[in-house]
Amino acid sequence: MSGKRLRSKKRKKRSTLPFAVLRFAVLLLVLILAVTVVFLRVETILVSGNHHESAEEVRSAVLERAPGGSLILACLMNNGRGVPGLPFVDSLDVSVTDTGTLSVTVREKKAVGCFAAGDAFWYFDADGTLLFSQAVPEEKNEGHFIPMCEGIPLPKDKKSGAVKAPASGMSLEIRKSFFEDIRAVQNWCGSEGVFPDLISFDENENMTIIFGDLKVLMGSFDDISVKLTVLTGLMPDISARTGTLDLKNYDGTQKDIYFF
């Protein structure tokens, strides 16, 4: 009888040993994490991918979410998240690249144009979805130019017929090619390094691009890439030209183009 009790006590001692080791390992891990969080500080933040928000604005936003400048918290609290107050930022990719160093890659919202509505300027993407608004328009940016547009219709309420107030996430309910061609103009402007003052549309969705005192009548969206090659031929002094260039019916077969 006493032999069975002795073996039972030995089994209990052996069974509690792994739990003691596990508990020690967990406590050690917690201690290491605590030391890492408390003592590893952000010393350098490397910012890339930002075209509209400055690197300093991004750095300040990252540190705001890192109490005490903790390197680990800065990474955990910012990775994959947007930034309130920086409307062009869709999300941040944050990683620790070295002791005290964070690498931050900015993923910006893909705005292709903006327009004025009330007291705000609304930005939209190539799908015709409103992204956000600002009180003042973005300055012309060679890294990622966003053209100012005029004449873009807002959707109407189906019951009352009243024009809806713009809001983030709203679809402009215009054919997709309308916005794809705005993006084509945006891409052309970026490649040529020229920035029109305005892209205007009439009630029939005919496009006019305005460069200073030059108006380019692009007409409908047929063969817009062909029409843009004509503008390429007018570089680099297109903004210095005056008058009106009519490309409404241009399809690439005409030998001459005319200013009037």
Domains and CATH numbers, the chain: 44-108 (3.10.20), 113-246 (3.40.50)
Mean pLDDT of 141-170: 84
229 DSSP β-pair partners: none
Mean pLDDT of 1-25: 55
Coil/strand/helix, residue 27: helix
* Distance from C-alpha of 137 to C-alpha of 17, rounded to nearest angstrom: 67
Mean pLDDT of 84-113: 88
* Whole-number average pLDDT of the chain: 80
pLDDT value for 6: 47
Express each pLDDT in 56-78 by its tens digit. 999 999 988 887 788 888 888 88
H or E stretch covering 234:
none
Which residues lie closer than 8 Å to 116 by C-beta, 6 or more apart? 122, 137, 148, 150
Express each pLDDT in 125-144 by its tens digit. 888 899 889 888 887 766 67
Given pLDDT bands bounded at 50, 70 and 90, which one contains residue 175?
confident
Statement: residue 37 has pLDDT above 50: no
**Can you read off the two tokens belonging to residue 146?**
């966003």
